[in-house]
Chains A and B, each alone.
Chain A
Amino acid sequence: MRDGITDVAPMLVGIIPFGLVAGAAPIAAGLDLGHAVAMSLLLFAGASQLAMADVLGSGGGVAVAVVTALTINLRMLLYSASLAPTLSSERLGARLRVSYLLVDQAYALSVIRWDGNDDRRQRLPYFFAIGILLWSSWQITTVIGALVGSSVPDDVPLDFAVPLVFLVLLVPVLQRWPSLVAAAVGGTTAVLAAELGAARLSILIGGVAGIVAGALAEGHQERRREVTPR
């Protein structure tokens, strides 16, 4: 549990300004405090909360708002699939609680730590320490953002802390050659898809392309190993 707290603590630097903005955005878009709080409690996913506030505030329909939010959150399907084998022996109730707290940072820290050489009994305490800290920081900062507005100064580009946190999570998973292929193809395809107008789908398109490329690279690597045994 303590490891979870230590690992996630520096990432709160990225969460706090993001939470303030995600709390202030619905109010600025004409929604009320109740909506802002409900979004944080029910979605608990910053990018989709910002997009929903944008769509609903600009008079977009319910269906557009829902589809927009769900499109952004489609990567959660991949996170869920990725963690499922490592939590296969946990009880259903615990897995459903993990699901509620499954955000980018909690996912990435856990998938790196649960490498098979770790202590299985420490998996849930590690995840919940991270998840609960992220969750409370998010709820508190979005309420503050909704009440007092986002007083983050414009000339300090705090929004950059969010991709920097993802970068910190990405670097340690680039240990093997297939992972490098997956990341290179995933990143490049996401950029291309966005350039071609895929907008919010570009993360998923890039992710899937990277997964396929990485799996092919790993298959190729394994076949070469079979041909030339050491």
Chain B
Amino acid sequence: MSGTWVAILLAGAGTYAMRASFLAFANRFVDLPPLAQRVLRQIPPAVLAALVVPALVRPSGQLDLWQPRLLAGVLAALVSWRTRNVGLTLVVGMVVLVVVEQLT
């Protein structure tokens, strides 16, 4: 078996193990102490921001606050906040990015 296959199998097994890590033992998560619940509540905002913010402020691998992706992202965030409409948010974000890229 080639190295490529070994790599794919190991990475797949490892990724599944991480996805199942806590879910496999979730039956023990019935009465969590308040501190644990407090920590778990922070996961969505913390991780999603860690995914989003770098994509907006360093799109080409270095910090750059003067480029269209940050502007498009901020406007899309406003649309998402006011309307909660996923489709509209995606359209506004993409259109602003395309238009600003064309103009500059």
Tell me the A residues contacting B by CB distance below 8 Å: 7, 10-11, 13-14, 31, 35, 38-39, 41-45, 48, 52, 56, 61-62, 65-66, 69-70, 73-85, 87-90, 92, 95-96, 98-100, 102, 104, 108, 111-112, 156-158, 160-174, 178-180, 182-191, 194-195, 202-215, 218-219
Contact = CB atoms under 8 A, between A and B. Distances in A.
A180 B45 contact: yes
B63 to A, nearest CB: 6
Nearest to A98: B23
B18 A183 contact: no
15 contacts: A39-B8, A52-B11, A66-B7, A66-B14, A70-B14, A70-B15, A73-B14, A79-B43, A96-B23, A167-B93, A170-B45, A184-B49, A186-B50, A206-B53, A211-B47
Contacts of B86: 7, 10-11, 165, 168
User: Among the interface residues B23, B41, B86, B94, which one has the most CB atoms of the partner chain A within 10 A?
Assistant: B23
Interface of A is mostly: helix
A111 to B, nearest CB: 5
A2 B54 CA distance: 33
Contacts of A183: 45-46, 48-49
Given A70-B15, A85-B32, A164-B94, A206 B46 contact: yes
B22 to A, nearest CB: 4
Nearest to A184: B49
Given A35-B4, A191-B57, A170 B22 contact: no
Interface residues on B, range: 35 or more
Contacts of A205: 50
A209 to B, nearest CB: 8
B24 A99 contact: yes
Contact of A218 (B4, B41, B98): B41
A111 B39 CA distance: 14
